[in-house]
Amino acid sequence: MNPQSSGSNFDKTTFILLVLVATLCLVPFFAQKYAVILITEILIFGLLATSLDLCLGYTGLASLGHAAFFGAGAYTVGILVAKAQFTSVFLAVPSALLVSAVVALIVGFFSLRTVGIYFLMITLAFGQMAFAFVHKWKEVTGGSDGISLGKRPVIDLLTPYLTIDFGNYQHFYFIVLGSVILCLVALRRLVRLRIGEVAIGIKENEMRVKFMGFNTFGYKLAVFVISGIFAGFSGVLHVLQRIYIT
The string of pLDDT tens digits covering residues 109-134 is 999 999 889 999 999 999 999 988 88
* Mean pLDDT across 63-67: 91
**pLDDT category, 155, cuts 50, 70, 90?**
low
* 124 and 15 belong to one structural domain: no
* 53 and 11 belong to one structural domain: no
* 132 and 46 belong to one structural domain: yes
Q: What is the pLDDT of residue 226?
A: 96
> Are the C-beta atoms of residues 231 and 73 closer than 8 Å to each other?
yes
Q: What is the pLDDT of residue 79?
A: 83
* 12 and 39 belong to one structural domain: no
Q: Which of 30-39, 158-167, 176-185 has the lowest mean pLDDT?
A: 158-167
* 139 and 202 belong to one structural domain: yes
* 40 and 119 belong to one structural domain: yes
What mean pLDDT is reported for the chain?
A: 84
**pLDDT category, 162, cuts 50, 70, 90?**
low
Q: What is the pLDDT of residue 128?
A: 92
Q: What is the pLDDT of residue 38?
A: 92
* 37 and 25 belong to one structural domain: no
* 20 and 114 belong to one structural domain: no
- Please measure the distance between the N-terminal and C-terminal CA atoms of the chain and give it in whole angstroms: 52
> Are the C-beta atoms of residues 105 and 97 closer than 8 Å to each other?
no
Is 219 a residue whose pLDDT tops 70?
A: yes
* 202 and 95 belong to one structural domain: yes
Q: Which tens digit of pLDDT belongs to each residue from 4-46?
A: 444 555 578 788 888 888 999 999 888 898 999 999 999 999 9
For the chain, what percent of residues have pLDDT higher than 70?
A: 83
Residues 6+ apart with CB under 8 A from 229: 51, 69, 97, 100, 101, 104
Task: Say which amino acid occupies 53.
Answer: D
Q: Which helix (H) or strand (E) holds 164?
A: strand 162-164
Which domain range does residue 7 map to? 1-30
* 44 and 4 belong to one structural domain: no
Structural domains in the chain (count): 2
